Amino acid sequence: MRIEKDTLGEVKVPGHVYYGAQTMRAVVNFPISGLRLPRRFIKAQGIVKLAAARANGSLGLLGRRMCRAIEKAALEVIGGIHDSDFVVDVYQAGAGTSQNMNANEIIANRAIEVLGGKKGDYRLVNPNDHVNMAQSTNDTIPTSIYLSAHEAVREDLVPALMRLKTVLQSKAREFDRIVKAGRTHMQDAVPVRLGQEFSGYAESVALDLVRIQNAAKSLLALPIGGNALGTGINAHRRFRASVIREIGNITGIRFRSRKNLFEGIQNIYPVLELSASLRGLAVTLTKIANDIRLLCSGPRTGLAEIKLPAVQPGSSIMPGKVNPVMAEMLNMVCYQVMGNDTAIAYAIQASQLELNVMMPMAAHNLLSSLDILSRGIGAFTDKCTAGIEADAVRCREYAGATLAMATALNPLIGYAAAAEVSKEAYRTGKTVRAVAVEQGILDEKNAKRALDPDKLTRA
């Protein structure tokens, strides 16, 4: 053990770790969930600290040797070398002060080593005065959220959605000639092509993709430089522009400063905006997954219009049973995302006066939603959607049998008379076409033409 001091007094810290007194207090005070903010967030913290060190160094506020030592330590944090030392629970001190100090202490102690000193000798590099120079928890934590979330959208979620959209579009083309019965209110409706049904899924995903990409643009405006409240207290007047420029150099992304830093620290509305778009995607995916489960139901006693790849035995007691497990998995992911969004909404409306203090939980939920959506969509696409097959015979039978075929008779005999044909078909178990011929409404030739299911889908 080593003894460190903070403003509250002495704290015993394990000798081998890079974190210090404030992190140790957080470990003791917040043994809540065992959950930690993820790798991507830690990487973003490293980027912020690296950019700040370079900005302060360029402004002559950090000596060259110290600046280089901090840079080396921050680069190691970005690379994941010190992940095991990021030990603060998600449910921690408000706003993420403990999380910010966790990063500051790790980088300071590692920089001290680089300079030839021993951990805890903060005369060489101080977590607050040097690593956290011109910064505050209040601007570094939201900045880290935006950096990490933007990366997750760009690198994981967008590619997963693009792949799902492409596969659904491919299935729409593959199934374009397969006519089936449409259903509204879970009852017979007019014919539709299976490809048309899948084209609706593809377009829904495409629209959600656009909404998410638009929401992600709000993450590009960073509050860094606002410091504690937005005034930029204790920061060089050129620090704000310099640190934004350095973040851009490190990430290759054109970030910018928030127009009003007071608003940027009072609120974290980009998190709310992106989470809402993820909730919308979850609603779309829930609908698609539910439809897939209905369309493959059976295989003997359900709709059975499509067949899914068999990837998992479906029962511990019923031999040979195969369930739509990938669609079920996707449903669970979507429900969790909806729950995360609700928690985020509550966290963000809890902003008070100059600061939102619920940022760690909001960060955890947002990044968790991005992660499970990306992984869930990828698995659903590759292990379910790409392998869907149509039962063309079953679809054709349903298309001819739907009582809503009587809709095509409306222009010929009117709605009320067509309804009587439909009811007679239901009562006798015959098709609408057969009843129409029997009642002399149409002859066989005209009935075949007027009540052709495929033609009815191309009006």
Catalytic residues, by residue number, are 185, 315
Pairing verdict, β 187-193 and 179-184: antiparallel
The tokens for 144 are: 């880290």
* Measured distance CA(162)–CA(158) in Å, rounded: 6
